[in-house]
Structure 1
Amino acid sequence: MPLILFNKPFQVMCQFSSHPTRETLADYLAIPNIYPAGRLDADSEGLLLLTNDGKLQHHISHPAFKQPKTYLAQVEGSPDSGALERLSSGLDLGDFTTQPCEVRQIAPPDWLWPRIPAIRERADKPTSWLALTITEGKNRQVRRMTAAVNLPTLRLVRIAIGQVSLESHPLWPGEFREIDPSELTRR
């Protein structure tokens, strides 16, 4: 039962079926009968796990297991303590309220690859980086959370799922490797 770590590039669709205008997982992974455990939207980059084991796929992606997922978000603006508190406490986004999460402002990650194309730069608007760890994963959740506190996300990179991270398993966008599934819960 392989567990594949894949660093999904920006604008790649999280599907194996063809797409009329964008690359898909099939353009990078020629491994038969594997499926993504969760998704990243086309505008997001970073760690995606794939497996051929339905039970493992369910354990990784189903919210009942509360598998922590860590994201780096480059946001427009500078967060104050109130915005960070609102993000970490849980936000009412209208159709659901987020669970409390871990959030902190970080220095720009010097190990992170450049995004192509680069994000838009505006001289009159500073950008900041946040590290957020959530245990749910609703559609565009992190983007909606940062927007709700007036910090629109410009770049979103998932760097960890459970104990598996792109820091401990460095991969460039489009690269993948197989690991033992026990690494998900190893401390």
Structure 2
Amino acid sequence: MPTLALNKPFGVVCQFSSHDVHPGLSTCIATPGVYPAGRLDTDSEGLLLLTDDGTLQARIADPRHKLPKTYWAQVEGIPDFVALQHLRDGVRLSDFTTRPCAVRALDPPDLWERTPPVRFRKHIPTSWIELTISEGKNRQVRRMTAAVGFPTLRLVRVAIGALRLTELALAPGEHCVIDPAQLLPTRGASGRSGRRH
């Protein structure tokens, strides 16, 4: 059974079964027998892997394996050095403290238009940051940026391990077959290993 990489669109819930409000993964993928390896919130976008390999699912989703996930977050306001360093050092949330992570300011990336578009507040600027974390707690990135005073408006997962969405060139809702070895930095493959769907 292949391992698939999907560019999950905004508003799609990470399950194949029907949902009262949101479309499921079956609107993007018709391949039987594969399941999400890890999750993306309904209001988050980007790289999602699907497989029937339980060992691979654990490798991707279990934070004990420390497979990094990289996100681009559009936040309300412009974080200063102190806020970025706070994110890097670990943020105390109500139920846990996040692990240290890599964070940097990011020029506005060239992304697809989101449907529906992000709602902006007229007099508050926005900016982008890149975060690479090895955890995956519920709504973690959103909670982190809010805790340091810069709520997330749009969140896109752009990499899992060494596999980058930008190299796969998938439009929202498109998927392709990948080699799981592409997740490992030693391979550094281009990612164009299968037909897009």
Superposed displacement of residue 109, structure 1: 0.3
Superposed displacement of residue 94, structure 1: 1.7
Q: Which amino acid aligns with 2:56?
A: L
Rounded to whole Å, the distance in 2 between the matches of 1:118 and 1:174 is 17
Equivalent residue number for residue 163 of structure 2: 164
Q: Is the 8 A contact 1:14 1:36 kept in 2?
A: yes
| Count of aligned residue pairs for this structure pair | 186
Equivalent residue number for residue 183 of structure 2: 184
Q: Which amino acid aligns with 2:43?
A: D
SS at match of 1:167: helix
Superposed displacement of residue 44, structure 1: 0.3
Rounded to whole Å, the distance in 1 between the matches of 2:37 and 2:24 is 15
Deviating beyond 6 angstroms after TM superposition, the runs of 4 or more aligned structure 1 residues are none
Superposed displacement of residue 168, structure 1: 1.1
Equivalent residue number for residue 5 of structure 2: 5
Superposed displacement of residue 64, structure 1: 0.7
Superposed displacement of residue 123, structure 1: 2.2
Equivalent residue number for residue 39 of structure 1: 39
Equivalent residue number for residue 191 of structure 2: none
Q: TM-score, normalised by structure 1?
A: 0.98
Q: Does 1:96 align with 2:96?
A: yes
Equivalent residue number for residue 48 of structure 1: 48
Equivalent residue number for residue 133 of structure 1: 132
Q: Does 1:25 align with 2:25?
A: yes
Equivalent residue number for residue 75 of structure 1: 75
SS at match of 2:176: strand
SS at match of 1:74: strand
Q: Which amino acid aligns with 1:35?
A: Y
Q: Extract unaligned runs of 5+ from structure 2.
A: 189-197
Equivalent residue number for residue 63 of structure 1: 63
Q: Which amino acid aligns with 1:135?
A: S
Q: Let me know the Cα RMSD of the aligned residues.
A: 0.8
Equivalent residue number for residue 85 of structure 1: 85
SS at match of 1:98: coil
Describe how 1:102-113 pairs up with structure 2 within 5 A.
102-110=102-110, 112-113=111-112
Q: Is the 8 A contact 1:75 1:154 kept in 2?
A: yes
Rounded to whole Å, the distance in 2 between the matches of 1:95 and 1:20 is 29
Rounded to whole Å, the distance in 2 between the matches of 1:95 and 1:121 is 29
Rounded to whole Å, the distance in 2 between the matches of 1:117 and 1:146 is 22
Rounded to whole Å, the distance in 1 between the matches of 2:90 and 2:142 is 14
Query: CA offsets, 1:82-134, max 9 Å, x none?
Result: 00000000011020000000000110002x11111111122210000000000
Q: TM-score, normalised by structure 2?
A: 0.93
Equivalent residue number for residue 121 of structure 1: 120
Q: Which amino acid aligns with 2:154?
A: R
Query: CA offsets, 1:18-38, max 9 Å, x none?
Result: 101210001111101001000
Rounded to whole Å, the distance in 2 between the matches of 1:122 and 1:147 is 16
Q: Which amino acid aligns with 1:168?
A: E
